[in-house]
Amino acid sequence: MNLWNTKRVFGFLTVVFLVHSLSGALSSVVALGPDVICNGILGLYPRQRNICREKPESIVTIWEGIQKGVRECQYQFKNGRWNCTSYPTRDSQFFPDLPKGTRESAYLRAITSAGVTHAITQACSRGNLTNCSCDRSKNTMITDDGWQWGGCSADISYGLRFSRLFVDASHPSDNAKGLMNVHNNEVGRKIVADNMEMECKCHGVSGSCTMQTCWTTLPSFRRVGDILKRKYENSYQVEQVGRSGRNRKLILKIKKTNRKPKHSHLVFLENSPTYCEFDPEYGSLGTVGRKCNHTSTDTDHCELMCCGRGYNTHQYTRTWQCNCKFLWCCTVRCNECSENTEEYTCK
């Protein structure tokens, strides 16, 4: 079962299909009308729905960013008991989420927030959105190294602002889970911003490169996912505490300390379940029926994946055309090759 692949997805993709069935993404959004689009999307919070109405052309890009995050999450956790799937809830109809504030929830929020930041910034550079384009604020500057800012630098500042405005709108600041999500959202965005790259093009007689024009580009999203996976493995458990003074406000502190977590740390509230059994309270689908590898030394080993319940062995024969030769003229003659293979699934 793919992540949150339920009525939420169907309802939204119906709208997206209507948009892309018409000629031109932006003109199609305008033609449909923002109310038609935004009211048809399940799981949006009031502030998000307002943003959708104000900038309806951005909603497809937001969805692409969420899916970018989901795909990366599934890649990073493909060999684990939790493979970035969950039992869907009302709160996860648009943005994927887990019911409890676990490490996995921390990663999921960070990677989808990063995905929206990445997708919005990329769409700006490509001219797909009306309210942004390239970042040309440095284009007149020449550095001491003899290169000049130019080209189409990615406007990461706009991507960060938009992601904060839209993604964080679904999280109340009066409870621990909301504070945790907002914190982890920002960690994901920070990874994108901190890993921006620079590309340059040489100018000069006969390729002498006497002058370079350089611009900033987004990091590969795989790099973002890898960095966040390491942060997931070193995440900090936190607890909610009240701030003293007239303007009492809830904040997060690292558990059993008086220290606030750093802005670069992923944080979680409670320990993760084993993910061995189906448990909607934690968003766990269990591992019954999951494929495993009985020779692996990783977390997909059958003993680990199947939680000691054992596994089933499935034998089948795979056949295909092989050793093909072209005969003059004009036929192709092939042999038929076959291979006996086994597949293992958890009981």
Q: Which tens digit of pLDDT belongs to each residue from 225-253? A: 999 999 999 999 999 887 655 556 788 99
Structure tokens at 323: 């050793």
What pLDDT sits at residue 26? 46
For residues 14 and 42, which has the higher predicted lDDT (pLDDT)? Answer: 42
3, 133, 240, 283 from 74: Cα distances, Å: 8, 31, 30, 15
For residues 64-87, average pLDDT:
93
Does 302-346 carry CATH code 3.30.2460.20? yes
For the chain, give every domain's residue range.
7-286, 302-346
For residues 213 and 343, which has the higher predicted lDDT (pLDDT)? Answer: 343
**Percent of the chain predicted with pLDDT > 70:** 83
For residues 62-88, average pLDDT:
92
pLDDT at residue 137 greater than cutoff 60: yes
pLDDT digits (tens, 9 = 90+) for 49-63: 999 999 988 999 999
For residues 94 and 332, which has the higher predicted lDDT (pLDDT)? Answer: 332
For residues 30 and 139, which has the higher predicted lDDT (pLDDT)? Answer: 139
Question: What is the reported pTM?
Answer: 0.84
What pLDDT sits at residue 146? 59
pLDDT digits (tens, 9 = 90+) for 148-192: 667 788 899 999 999 999 999 987 777 899 999 999 999 999 999
What pLDDT sits at residue 215? 87
pLDDT at residue 201 greater than cutoff 70: yes
